[in-house]
Amino acid sequence: MIGKLLGYTQGQMTAWYAHLARGTMKVSAARIGDSINRDLEADGEVAGQTAA
Distance CA 45, CA 52 (A): 10
What was the pLDDT predicted at 47?
Answer: 58
What was the pLDDT predicted at 2?
Answer: 67
Strands (E), 4-51: none
Give pLDDT tens digits for 5-47.
Answer: 777 677 676 676 666 667 777 888 899 999 999 999 988 876 5
What was the pLDDT predicted at 24?
Answer: 79
> Is this prediction's pTM over 0.85?
no
Q: What are the start-end ranges of the H helices in 1-52?
A: 2-6, 11-42
Residue 50 pLDDT level (bands cut at 50, 70, 90): low
What was the pLDDT predicted at 26?
Answer: 86
